[in-house]
Amino acid sequence: MVPNKHSDFAQLITTFRQQRGMSQGQLAQATQLSRTYIYHLESGQRANPSPHVAHSIAHALGLHSEEMAMLYAAYTRLTGQLIDTEQAESTLLDFGKLAGLLVHNTSYPAHSLDRLWFLHSWNNAATELFEVHDEILEGEKRHLLEQIFDPRLRHRFLDWENLAHRLVTDFQYNTRKSTHLPEYKTLWKQLRDLPDFRRIAASCSPTGKPAPSFVFQVQHSQLGRLTLRTATTVFTGISACSMVSYVPGNQHTLEIYRRQHWQPD
């Protein structure tokens, strides 16, 4: 097939990428495509990419609805394949709603996170367990690490230093493909202003995929010391939503969960 170096699709990818200050290598990393493939797309040497490629690029670039519609229309003109923009957006919305439903209906204390670890939702058991009723306001966009590094809350976490190291390391690993995003750069600047975050982040170096579960302890003003275990669920193929449940770590905590009706007998 003769390369179409002037296709709208190729030009839009280049334009949107450059507007976001991304290199071809960064876009390749964010989409899990090769840098050569991105180069071939932008130079018109790939004239029939799959719809999955178009979706991946749109999401990696964080395109808003009008930009996404432009890219998908250009894709259709190039390939003859139609992408339903409304369906693509509603699918992501449905996963967000699903995360909220899972959190609010699970018997465990739980919350959900987006791909940058902003808290998507909390259930009542989680707010009671971590005593953050006043801090968690409806509609407020708050980051999980803000909770951990908040000077008013950190005393509740036993062995706080090790817990903070673990979470910062996991955060760096889980967001390693989002460091090109402007919102990530803004977030990182905000996190560096938190007490001790800069010191701990400088000593954390992710060496591999973290274990999906770990044990930690909290001191509750009424329930006493509790040993908890995390259980992380990530929706397959969707990087924007995950759910974290705090499940019992010992018999003492399990009994309290049952007493609080957080877990069925």
Q: What is the mean pLDDT of the chain?
A: 85
pLDDT of residue 234: 64
Average pLDDT over residues 180-202: 92
Instruction: Kindly list the structural domains of the chain, giving each domain's residue range(s) and its CATH number in brackets, ordered by start.
Output: 8-83 (1.10.260.40), 89-259 (3.30.450.180)
Q: Which residues share a beta bridge with 157?
A: 218
Q: Per-residue pLDDT tens for 72-102?
A: 999 999 999 888 665 555 555 456 677 788 8
pTM: 0.69
Residue 3 pLDDT grade (very low, low, confident, very high; cuts 50, 70, 90):
very low
Is it the case that residue 30 has pLDDT exceeding 90? no
Give the total residue count for the chain: 265
Q: Could you tell me what percent of the chain has a pLDDT over 90?
A: 42
CA distance 41 to 56: 13
